[in-house]
Structure 1
């Protein structure tokens, strides 16, 4: 009898753990990934001591983390990890963020987007934006399934992922791929965006060198550098924006956020910005820094103000 009871508890715990697992959904139907070409590239996942690095993404997906229905507030945030458009810091700036958002009743949806590669793609400079638009449309299409409200879906990105979110927030109306199904009829504009130590400009000294190198071919195609200098693409339709950055960031200078904030202000787009004196680059949740980690509470307060 004791054995039976122990077995029952074990089975129940297993079921609970299984139900808590995130759901992974492909962005595209098989063999219909835009701009994809056959190559020898293989998607790589490397789990280091500090973070999970994903590179050479071949099958873009969303990984959906949902709060309990009782705690859910109807908001969702698509999360785009950074990594200089070379890798994705998938847990550090992705799944860890999603789980943290869940604690506030917000659905966290991590986007594993493709990285520019002349080997695996045509028009590789557009591929991250293509995946970002599709991810927003897919989540909006499945809003009822995810217990979220279709007009309360935001996007958040870190470093190069922040640049991609800023690109999505300014180029959401542009047709960068041919529609393949009903999902592509959905609006790809985020209802709000949050940018963490984001690269913004490719046309000045405050740009991130890594992002410049990997996300565009602007040296050989100058128009691409212009297109992805996002402070020049802000319009009145750019979503309300939350920015946070460290003043001593050596990787992506704080001037990137300052310039984007000014561009938003010039177009009367609601914007909130928090600049912290120290923190460097890539601090994620900053749980070891009492002052810096406050950005998370400021984000939640700002999201509540959007209601």
Structure 2
């Protein structure tokens, strides 16, 4: 290989590496709403079982995983990892999910969203995750042509507290919770579909996940604050079609969260599919090592095909 060819090859290779790494983009092009500069630092660590765990999110981002163009079917899923609104199980319920979607031709976009407990958040802590969620889906829609997506096939997916955030977006997409920053904010924040995996839905005491409730609205919230973010109370005929999955023996987020939401969706004639497994507990994600649960992703992909 002569010097000129070698140089060209290295430049192309370097460009490809940069492109592969350039998958993370900031949510907010200007000032981040409801946030001030503090000495607080974002923390990325590994739990005892090896999960990437992020707390004190300071700069919310999108991490974009696109399938090969020949495999792409035009669908995209914006993913909200869980973590009780205290942290984010970022790979377990985020990037690994995006890669699994890619294998079926679906784009997966993981949102690193802000958490209400951060000291840098100045006010309206209960709507800060919704601000990031609305901005995330609008930003993805604005990139539809660039990323080879169908603009009417962009949905959302959330796990546990991330499921609460997804269902909040799916029921509060018209709420104005931040000021316009650019042309992306002129787009609708309504998802085309929702995928809710062992989701927190209600903040009502009897069925809620206590940690998520306290993180989001505090120890002694007003009734209005609880009702606003009890998403079964805000379903309408315009709520997006929804896929629900839960385990009956979930002792962290009671299965009643899913059944409450299913009943509300059915009442308003929203197309809905619900799968409830007798066992599985909480936080199983892809469940690849559970013979009884690992088929759930095939059920999901079958459902996604029905949306065409």
Asked if Structure 1 and Structure 2 have the same fold, meaning a TM-score greater than 0.5 normalized by the shorter chain, the answer is yes
The Cα shift of 1:215 comes to: 1.3
CA separation of 1:14 and 1:181: change in aligned 2, threshold 3 A: closer
Could you say what the CA RMSD is over the residues aligned between the two structures, in angstroms? 2.2
Query: 2:14 matched to 1:35?
Result: no
CA separation of 1:16 and 1:118: change in aligned 2, threshold 3 A: closer
Residue aligned with 1:28, SS: coil
CA contact (8 A) 2:86 2:117 kept: no
CA contact (8 A) 1:244 1:273 kept: yes
- 2:53 matched residue in structure 1: 53
* Uncovered stretches (5+) of structure 1, i.e. residues with no partner: none
The Cα shift of 1:177 comes to: 1.0
Alignment partners' CA distance in 1, 2:106 and 2:20: 15
Alignment partners' CA distance in 2, 1:306 and 1:218: 40
CA contact (8 A) 1:217 1:224 kept: no
CA separation of 1:182 and 1:172: change in aligned 2, threshold 3 A: same
Alignment map for 1:274-285 (pairs within 5 Å) = 274-285=275-286
Number of residue pairs aligned between Structure 1 and Structure 2: 306
The Cα shift of 1:194 comes to: 0.3
- 1:219 matched residue in structure 2: 220
Alignment partners' CA distance in 2, 1:218 and 1:103: 42
CA separation of 1:215 and 1:294: change in aligned 2, threshold 3 A: same
The Cα shift of 1:169 comes to: 0.2
The Cα shift of 1:14 comes to: 6.9
Moved over 6 A (4+): 5-15
CA separation of 1:47 and 1:8: change in aligned 2, threshold 3 A: farther
- 2:108 matched residue in structure 1: 108
Deviation per residue, 1:46-68 (Å, 9 max, x gap): 13342000111110000000000
CA separation of 1:8 and 1:118: change in aligned 2, threshold 3 A: closer
* Uncovered stretches (5+) of structure 2, i.e. residues with no partner: none
Alignment partners' CA distance in 2, 1:197 and 1:294: 15
Alignment map for 1:159-238 (pairs within 5 Å) = 159-217=160-218, 219-238=220-239
Alignment partners' CA distance in 2, 1:177 and 1:229: 21
Alignment partners' CA distance in 2, 1:11 and 1:265: 56
Alignment partners' CA distance in 2, 1:27 and 1:118: 17
CA contact (8 A) 1:22 1:65 kept: no
The Cα shift of 1:40 comes to: 2.2
The Cα shift of 1:119 comes to: 2.3
Alignment partners' CA distance in 2, 1:58 and 1:133: 17
TM-score scaled by length of structure 1: 0.94
Alignment partners' CA distance in 2, 1:160 and 1:99: 21
